[in-house]
């Protein structure tokens, strides 16, 4: 997928005035083409805290499996900024007078798109979802909340003049997908909070950008086109709704996201590398004093992906175990994949994550596996709404003369849509190559003990060798 040519965009993408563009800075993006940064947004971009995003890979350690996945949070943030601006411009052109959209709204939405990821930690979601829960008790840290702290810090540190109401609302928009949005401050123009981080139904420009950008970087075909929903959306009842004819286009948004999770984000080798680096960080965090900076923006902005190279090249004896693990990653001496199984549908609701201790308890008598010999990855892949169809929470309209919004039941669209919208996959690795067969057998015993049969579809490593 090459860069999207400006000629492919609908007319509304040229909505900003020439006067605005004369005072803007132009940046060329390999997905969206020319992006114009307005003066206030540029004040945030030209800070060391925002520039730090250049040193955070969007997909963390995925580039060690997909070599092209070296794009950064910086690129993604510019892309979301641009799409957020084009979305609000489109709504203003179509319904601006009836909705009362003004420059205040446009600036707020664009800044929310620009700054939504400024609080991300090293190596994407791995830092937040895999590393911090291992080393911090009562873990309640999130990159969204850290983004709010970073924004306040940037404004204070660089004396950026910004309307306090814009600052307040842009921060609300960043956390609108993860917090209760029924507060008084969100009742006016609630539809604006659907654009960047949509907690109402999951359709937002953040997904539009990363689905296309990640697919392109990894060399994968992307069947979702964000210009279709952008061109047909309409605000009805203070909510962004979509034309009923675009039902399957919207479905492709969620299915494309799920496909990326399955084939890229949770690729078996990617997870093996992540598990190893989490172990390396866990062993190193006390010496590096990582936890002391994760709540302090003045120190946190100095933390980026270079932490891996620092561990790798230091001579500190305290970091030897971490350094050895990173050397194994570099030499492709990875934790060995033993097997995986998908949790049966009837077990999904009450399923508890499998632990290394569960596997140890299922080993044969006389075997001496230890907990530190095994790594387990419990993977959840869904379409943003757990086991539910995400389209159930989306409202549509019939045509542009209609002011009525309504949901669409699955059976009225296609009988080919799935009945369940979530997978849970348990994947087991041996940290030592010589224990692969023993760990694999213990994992099989675990499945038989809990499900009455082996639910995996792959052969064990021993059986694979026998077939050669």
Look at residue 329 and tell me if it is in a domain.
no
Q: What is the mean pLDDT of each run of 10 residues along the chain (468 residues)?
A: 43 49 84 95 98 98 98 98 96 94 96 98 94 88 96 98 97 83 62 95 96 97 90 94 92 94 97 98 96 95 97 95 98 96 89 94 86 96 88 90 86 72 95 94 91 73 52
pLDDT at 14: 44
Query: Cα(442)–Cα(354) distance, rounded to whole angstroms?
Result: 13
How many domains in the chain? 2
Residue that finishes a domain, picked among 247, 268, 289? 268
DSSP state of 7: G
Same-domain pairing of 209 and 354:
no
Dihedral sign of CA atoms 409, 411, 414, 416 in order: positive
Same-domain pairing of 227 and 369:
no
Residue that finishes a domain, picked among 238, 268, 298? 268
Look at residue 113 and tell me if it is in a domain.
yes
Q: Which CATH number is 33's domain given? A: 1.10.3210.10
pLDDT at 413: 65
pLDDT at 399: 86
Q: Is 120 a catalytic residue?
A: no
**Which of the residues 71, 89, 120, 143 is marked catalytic?**
143
Domain carrying residue 361: 338-383+421-468
Same-domain pairing of 379 and 246:
no
Look at residue 130 and tell me if it is in a domain.
yes
Query: Cα(73)–Cα(62) distance, rounded to whole angstroms?
Result: 14
Residue that finishes a domain, picked among 229, 253, 268? 268
pLDDT at 403: 86
Look at residue 440 and tell me if it is in a domain.
yes
pLDDT at 461: 61
pLDDT at 182: 47
pTM of the model: 0.92
CB proximity list for 14: less than 8 A, separation 6 or greater: none
Look at residue 169 and tell me if it is in a domain.
yes
Look at residue 293 and tell me if it is in a domain.
no
pLDDT at 21: 63
Q: How many CB atoms lie within 10 A of CB 354?
A: 21
pLDDT at 186: 54
Beta-ladder partners of 28: 34
pLDDT at 12: 46
pLDDT at 9: 45
pLDDT at 4: 42
Tokens of 393: 């929470």
Tokens of 458: 């792959």
pLDDT at 386: 86
Same-domain pairing of 206 and 102:
yes
Q: Which CATH number is 374's domain given? A: 3.30.70.2760
């Amino acid at each position: 997928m090459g860069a999207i040519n400006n000629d492919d965009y609908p007319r509304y993408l040229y909505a900003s005035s020439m006067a605005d563009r004369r005072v803007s800075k132009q940046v060329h993006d390999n997905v969206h083409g020319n992006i114009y940064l307005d003066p206030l947004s540029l004040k945030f971009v030209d800070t060391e805290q925002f520039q730090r995003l250049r040193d955070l890979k969007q997909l963390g350690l995925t580039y060690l499996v997909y070599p092209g996945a070296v794009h950064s949070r910086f690129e993604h943030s510019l892309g979301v900024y641009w799409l957020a601006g084009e979305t609000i411009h489109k709504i203003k052109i179509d319904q601006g007078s009836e909705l009362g959209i003004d420059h205040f709204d446009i600036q707020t939405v664009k800044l929310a798109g620009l700054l939504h990821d400024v609080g991300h930690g090293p190596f994407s979601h791995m830092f937040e979802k895999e590393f911090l829960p291992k080393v911090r008790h009562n873990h309640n840290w999130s990159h969204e909340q850290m983004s709010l702290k970073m924004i306040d810090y940037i404004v204070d540190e660089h004396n950026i003049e910004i309307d306090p109401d814009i600052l307040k609302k842009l921060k609300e928009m960043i956390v609108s997908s993860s917090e209760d949005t029924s507060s008084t401050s969100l009742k006016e123009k609630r539809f604006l909070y659907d654009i960047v981080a949509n907690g109402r139904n999951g359709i937002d420009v953040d997904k539009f950008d990363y689905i296309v950008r990640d697919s392109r970087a990894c060399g994968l075909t992307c069947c979702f086109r964000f210009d279709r929903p952008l061109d047909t959306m309409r605000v009805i009842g203070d909510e962004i709704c979509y034309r009923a004819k675009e039902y399957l286009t919207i479905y492709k948004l969620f299915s494309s996201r799920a496909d990326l999770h399955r084939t890229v984000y949770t690729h078996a080798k990617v997870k093996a590398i992540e598990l190893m680096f989490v172990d390396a960080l866990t062993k190193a965090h006390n010496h590096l004093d990582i936890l002391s900076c994760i709540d302090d923006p003045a120190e946190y902005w100095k933390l980026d992906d270079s932490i891996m190279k620092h561990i790798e090249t230091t001579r500190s004896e305290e970091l030897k175990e971490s350094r050895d693990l990173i050397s194994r990653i570099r030499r492709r001496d990875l934790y060995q994949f033993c097997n995986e199984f998908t949790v049966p549908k009837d077990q999904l609701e009450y399923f508890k994550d499998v632990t290394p201790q569960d596997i140890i308890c299922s080993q044969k008598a006389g075997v001496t596996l230890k907990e530190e010999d095994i790594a387990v990855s419990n993977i959840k892949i869904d379409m943003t709404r757990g086991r539910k169809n995400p389209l159930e929470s989306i409202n549509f309209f019939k045509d542009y003369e209609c002011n009525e919004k309504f949901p669409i039941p699955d059976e009225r669209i296609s009988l080919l849509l799935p009945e369940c919208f979530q997978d849970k996959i348990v994947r087991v690795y041996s940290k030592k190559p010589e224990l692969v067969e023993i760990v694999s057998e213990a994992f099989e015993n675990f499945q038989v003990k809990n499900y009455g049969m082996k639910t995996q579809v792959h052969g064990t490593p021993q059986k694979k060798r026998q077939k050669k």
